[in-house]
Amino acid sequence: MMRMVVIRYWGQTEPPWERANVPWIFRLAVRWGVTMLAMLIAAALVTGVDVDGWRALLPAAAIFMVSRAILRPILIVMTCPLELLTLGLFTIVINALVFAFTAWFCGKVGVDFSVDGFWAALLGSLVVSGVYFLVSLVLRRGPRRRWRRSMMRDRDRYL
């Protein structure tokens, strides 16, 4: 019974581009677009994060997506004791390291994306994570709202 509820909840709350009937290339394009938007906002808000136009933004976002998909899980597993000790807050530092690695790698391949220091990488990764969160709230389907309404309607029953 519990498994059916979890599967049903997961199936109803996944974003429209994550559904099985959407082609993988479309899902990748949406993620790439969200990453470009997030990096553009980070460059606008954080001093020390610089993107030199959309021609630098396209490959920088792609490099960030690939490095986040490859490096982040490896770093999380390698720093598991620190993750446990800080109750997961060390993930913020890992995100900053991936952001800084993206800037370093972009510099090596000639893409004009730069991050000046650890604090700029930390703030930039926080902005990118915040934009990811806000966009996922906007793009998710409605069951979360329906669940909240039903909980508000039934709250007297539980009190």
Contact 141, 13 (CB under 8 A): yes
Whether the per-residue pLDDT at 145 is higher than 50: the answer is yes
Count other C-beta atoms under 10 Å from residue 38's C-beta: 23
Q: Is 21 exposed, middle or buried (0-12, 13-18, 19+ CB in 10 A)?
A: exposed
For the ranges 22-26, 44-48, 137-141, the lowest mean pLDDT is seen at 137-141
Give, for 137, the enclosing helix (H) or strand (E).
Answer: helix 118-139
For the ranges 22-31, 42-51, 70-79, 82-91, the lowest mean pLDDT is seen at 22-31
Whether the per-residue pLDDT at 92 is higher than 60: the answer is yes
pLDDT value for 15: 57
- Of the chain, the percentage scoring pLDDT greater than 90 comes to 60
pLDDT value for 159: 54
User: pLDDT confidence of 156, banded at 50, 70, 90?
Assistant: low
pLDDT value for 37: 94
| Averaged pLDDT, 58-87 | 93
Whether the per-residue pLDDT at 16 is higher than 60: the answer is no
SS3 of residue 92 by DSSP: helix
Give, for 29, the enclosing helix (H) or strand (E).
Answer: helix 24-45
Whether the per-residue pLDDT at 127 is higher than 50: the answer is yes
